[in-house]
Structure formats: structure tokens, C-alpha cells
């Protein structure tokens, strides 16, 4: 008799476990959770989501295990994306390095053109010639343009 009473008691208790949970905020701003609705009908309640998952017929799709082929495809895709990101970063680093070297060379050219009284150049035959002032001004302007573009 005691075992039947215990089984009936457990069955009744388990029915309460399936009851919904309600959430409401009282006029003082306190949040309340309960399996029964508040006695004041003016208070608006919200049904709280069942986190135990007892109402679900089957597991959600997000938690279902993936097949081996799907996992391998995801791993391959992630590896490919990682390689592409590394290549992109390497290209950006190379561009930054090239910009730095162009900047340094342009600054050196500008310094040389501004500080040297006469600049010697050599033609195709190897003969020494002196740079004219107009050519010097053009080279100086070109060096300054490169500095503006590369030295940011």
C-alpha cells in the first residue's frame, strides 16, 4: 500500500514539473518567476521558454550530430579561408613594405636634389654630364609627389 501511495505521489509531483513558468515585473520593479499567474490581473506576464526541452518532439537541427563528410567539408572550408586570409595579410604586408622603401628612396632623392649644388649623370655612352636646373626641378617635384603618395 505504501508503494502505491508513493507512486501516486510521484506522479502528481511530476505533473507540476511540466507546468509553464511565468515571468512578470511588479510595480516596484522586482522581477518574479512562478508557475502560477499573479493574482493581480493588471500585471502583464510573459511565458518563459522551456529550457529543458521536454516539449520538443525531437532534438533541434542545430544540435543534431553532423556526418563525417559535413565535418570534413567544414574543416576544409575553414582551412581554405584561413589560407586566403594569410595570403591577403602577406600581400598587405608586402605592399606596406614596398611603400616604406619607396618613401625612404624618395626622401633620399629629395635630400640629394636639394642639397647638392651640381648633380652628375651619365649617358648611354658613359660620358659625364651635369643635370640642368629644369631637369633638377622636375626630378625634385617627382620625388615630392612620391613622398606624398608613399609616406602616409
CB atoms within 10 A of CB 113: 19
pTM beyond 0.75, yes or no? no
Give the residues of the chain that fall short of pLDDT 70. Answer: 9, 12-20, 41-43, 45-64
Instruction: Give the model's pLDDT for residue 12.
Output: 67
Instruction: Give the model's pLDDT for residue 31.
Output: 82
Instruction: Give the model's pLDDT for residue 58.
Output: 55
Task: Judge whether 113 and 139 are in contact, CB under 8 Å.
Answer: yes
Question: Per-domain residue ranges for the chain?
Answer: 72-152
Cα–Cα distances in angstroms (integers) from residue 100 to residues 28, 95, 97, 103, in the given order: 64, 9, 5, 5
Instruction: Give the model's pLDDT for residue 63.
Output: 60
Instruction: Give the model's pLDDT for residue 17.
Output: 53
How far is it, in rounded angstroms, from Cα 87 to Cα 81? 10
Instruction: Give the model's pLDDT for residue 64.
Output: 67
Helix (H, G, I), strand (E, B), or coil: what is residue 31?
A: strand
Amino acid at each position: 500500500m505504501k508503494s502505491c501511495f508513493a507512486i501516486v505521489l510521484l506522479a502528481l509531483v511530476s505533473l507540476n514539473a511540466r507546468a509553464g513558468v511565468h515571468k512578470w515585473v511588479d510595480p516596484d520593479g522586482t522581477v518574479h518567476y512562478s508557475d502560477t499567474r499573479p493574482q493581480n490581473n493588471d500585471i502583464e506576464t510573459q511565458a518563459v521558454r522551456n529550457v529543458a526541452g521536454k516539449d520538443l518532439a525531437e532534438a533541434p537541427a542545430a544540435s543534431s550530430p553532423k556526418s563525417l563528410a559535413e565535418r570534413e567539408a567544414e574543416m576544409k572550408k575553414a582551412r581554405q579561408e584561413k589560407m586566403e586570409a594569410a595570403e591577403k595579410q602577406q600581400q598587405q604586408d608586402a605592399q606596406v613594405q614596398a611603400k616604406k622603401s619607396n618613401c625612404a628612396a624618395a626622401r633620399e632623392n629629395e635630400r640629394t636634389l636639394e642639397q647638392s649644388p651640381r648633380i652628375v649623370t651619365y649617358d648611354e655612352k658613359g660620358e659625364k654630364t651635369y643635370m640642368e636646373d629644369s631637369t633638377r626641378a622636375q626630378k625634385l617635384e617627382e620625388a615630392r609627389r612620391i613622398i606624398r603618395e608613399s609616406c602616409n
